[in-house]
Chains A and B, each alone.
Chain A
C-alpha cells in the first residue's frame, strides 16, 4: 500500500519519541492497543499548573500509519489545554495524514491514546 508523504515523513522522522516518568504527578499516560493488528501505543503528556500541555512523548509498536498518527498528535497537543486535547478527533488526524480507509483505525487509536492520557492526568489530580 502506498503511504502518503506526510505518513512517510512522520514514520522516518518520528517526533517526540520517548518516555516520561509515569509516576510523576504532572504526567498523564495513555496506553492503548488494537487487538486486530496487535499494535500497542503509549502516549504521555506533561501538564503545567495552569492545565496546559507543555510536552508530549509517544512510543508506538505498529504500522507506519499508527506511528505517524501518534507522532502527529504529540506535535499537535503541545500548547493545548487539556480540554482542547481531549477534543481532538481521529478524522482530523486521518485528514492531515491522508490515511486510506483501511488505516482509519490507526487514527482512532491515536485519538483514544490522547483521551486516555488526559483522563489519566485528571484522575491523578483528583478532578
Chain B
C-alpha cells in the first residue's frame, strides 16, 4: 500500500467510471483488516501514525470511488480538471432554464395536493436526467482527446446541479415527514 498511489491504484481497480462496486467493497474490507489498529498496537508511535494515515486515505478513497458523482469528479481531477472547486463555468442556458423550472417545482411541492407523490415524481425526473449524463461521461472520459475531456467535464457540471437538486429534495422530504 502506498498513499502516493491514486485511489484506483490503491484499490487495485482499473481507472474507469464503471468499476465493479462489489469488488470495491471486498477490497475495502481486505484493506481495512490489514490496517486494523489492533494489529499495530505493539508497534512504534511512528508506525502507528503511518497506519492511521493509511486508514484515513483508505476511507477517503472508498467514499470517493463508491459515489458515482465523486468518482466522476475524481477521474476528471486525475486529468487536471477540477469541476468541484471551480468558481464559475458558462452553462447551456436551456439547461439552466430547466434547472430553474425544477427548483420552482420543488419550491411548490409542499403546497401540492399530494406532496409526497410530487417529491417522488420530481426525484424520478432527476434520476432520468442523471442517467444519460453518466452515460455521456462514461463514453467521453475514455477518449484521450481534449474535446472529449471537455465534454466529460460538461456532463459532470450538469450532474453537480442535479445532485444539488437531489439533496434539496431529500431535505424537503425530511422536513415534511
B133 to chain A, nearest CB (A): 12
Q: Which of A19-71 contact B (CB under 8 A)?
A: 31-40, 42, 59, 61
User: What's the Cα separation between A113 and B73 when bound, in Å?
Assistant: 26
- The answer on a CB contact under 8 Å between B96 and A31 is yes
A7, B104: Cα distance in complex, Å: 23
Binary CB contact string for chain B from 62 to 97 against chain A (1 if under 8 A, 0 otherwise) = 000000000000000000000111111101010011
Residues of the A chain whose Cβ atoms lie less than 8 Å from the Cβ of B86: 35-36
Query: How far is A61 from B91 in the complex, measured between Cα atoms in Å?
Result: 16
B100 touches A59 (CB 8 A): yes
**Chain B residues near A72 (CB, 8 Å)?**
none
The interface of chain B, by Cβ under 8 A from chain A, is 83-89, 91, 93, 96-97, 99-100, 103-104, 107, 157-158, 160-161, 163-165
Complex contacts, B161 vs chain A, CB 8 Å: 33, 35, 38, 40
CB nearest to A40 among chain B residues: B99
User: A73 → chain B, closest Cβ, in Å?
Assistant: 16
Q: Which residue of A lies closest to B157 (CB)?
A: A35
Q: Which residues of B contact A33 (CB under 8 A)?
A: 91, 96, 99, 161
In the complex, A109 has a CB within 8 A of chain B? yes
**B100/A36 in contact, CB under 8 A:** no
Listed in ascending order, the chain A residues whose CB lies under 8 Å from chain B are 31-40, 42, 59, 61, 104-105, 108-109, 112
Do A108 and B87 contact each other (CB < 8 Å), given the known contacts A31-B93, A31-B100?
A: yes
Knowing A40-B100, A40-B103, A61-B100, say if A35 contacts B163 (CB, 8 Å): no
Contact among B87, B100, B158 with A34 in the assembled complex (CB-CB below 8 Å) = B87
Alpha-carbon distance A105/B87, docked complex (angstroms): 6
- What is the distance, in angstroms, from B29's C-beta to the closest C-beta of chain A? 33
What residues of chain A lie closer than 8 Å to B93, measured between beta carbons?
A: 31
Chain B residues with CB under 8 A of A105: 87-88
Q: How far is the CA of A112 from the CA of B90 in the complex (A)?
A: 9
Residue of B nearest to A105 (CB): B87
Residue of B nearest to A37 (CB): B164
Instruction: For the complex formed, measure the closest distance between the CB of A43 and the CB atoms of chain B, giving whole angstroms.
Output: 11
28 A-B pairs within 8 Å (CB atoms) are namely A31-B93, A31-B96, A31-B97, A31-B100, A32-B91, A33-B99, A34-B87, A35-B86, A35-B89, A35-B91, A35-B158, A35-B160, A36-B87, A36-B160, A37-B164, A38-B161, A38-B165, A39-B164, A40-B161, A42-B100, A59-B104, A61-B100, A104-B87, A105-B88, A108-B87, A108-B88, A109-B88, A112-B88
